[in-house]
Amino acid sequence: MTRASLFVTCLVDLLRPEIGEATVRVLERQGVQVDFPEEQTCCGQAHYNAGYRTEAKALAEHFCDVFANSENIVAPSGSCVAMVKRHYPELVGQRAAGVASRCWEFTGYLRHVVGVEDVGAKLEASAVYHASCHLQRELGTGQDPRAMLARVRGLQVTEPADADQCCGFGGTFSMTMADVSTAMADAKLERVKATGASVLVGADAACLLHLEGRLRRQGCETCVMHISQVLDHADRP
């Protein structure tokens, strides 16, 4: 049996725990035995991006300790996985090699480790997909969520021309450059709304929180779903 440790990420843990729950259900239905190391904390991405490298290094070292014995590490967030795979080697050197090689974004793990694209999901809806920057640019695995969505029965997926354009979140960028961040989100959402889709779906909770916040402020009720929640829509008792 394949085993995986859930790396839940801060935003999912604190603001969208339902994404973590959906992630676990989908994995378990595919025969993955999931555990949750309770000692896990922030991966340090926010600190790293803000220039606090000493603090980020301490968190990276802790992460390596917590997940040292995990067969695989799975997270519903491309940005946090990119932090581990791309930036931990800079922070903690060879110590990061083991965890970096075993750390997977959720859909990438399903496709490349479990070896499945069709998880039996069914959702009768029209959806527009937002491609998050870290999946596209840092991990280079932007096709993994697309491949999984293509196998969801009843789901009609549209991508606007700027599907891979940044939503404007960028972590602390959304606070330090709020006007620019908001303008980027609004430009993205104009194209999302133009598709007429009833669901906005993505693979990173941070992007989705940012975009959903703008949608609600505009009085738009478009349903916003993480891909784990879409894949969790299965015909089952």
Q: Which fold has domain 3-114?
A: Rossmann fold (3.40.50)
Please report the pLDDT score of residue 234 as a whole number. 72
Average pLDDT taken over every residue of the chain: 90
By CB atoms closer than 10 A (0-12, 13-18, 19+), residue 91 is buried
Above 80 in pLDDT, residue 178? Answer: no
Q: Which fold has domain 122-231?
A: Rossmann fold (3.40.50)
User: Per-residue pLDDT tens for 120-166?
Assistant: 999 999 999 988 888 778 887 889 999 999 999 999 999 877 767 78
* Matching fold, domains 3-114 and 122-231: yes
| Predicted structure pTM score | 0.92
Percent of the chain whose pLDDT exceeds 70: 96
User: Per-residue pLDDT tens for 88-125?
Assistant: 999 999 999 999 999 999 999 999 999 999 999 999 99
Above 60 in pLDDT, residue 235? Answer: no
pLDDT interval class at 42 (50, 70, 90): very high
Delimit the domains of the chain by residue range.
3-114, 122-231
Give the DSSP per-residue string, the chain: --EEEE---HHHHHT-HHHHHHHHHHHHHTT-EEE--TT----SHHHHHTT-HHHHHHHHHHHHHHTTT-S-EEESBHHHHHIIIIIHHHHHGGGGHHHHHHEEEHHHHIIIII--S---BEEEEEEEEE--HIIIIII--THHHHHHHHTSEEEEEE--TTTTS--S-TTTHHHHTHHHHHHHHHHHHHHHHHTT-SEEEESBHHHHHHHHHHHHHTT---EEEEHHHHHT-B---
pLDDT interval class at 237 (50, 70, 90): very low
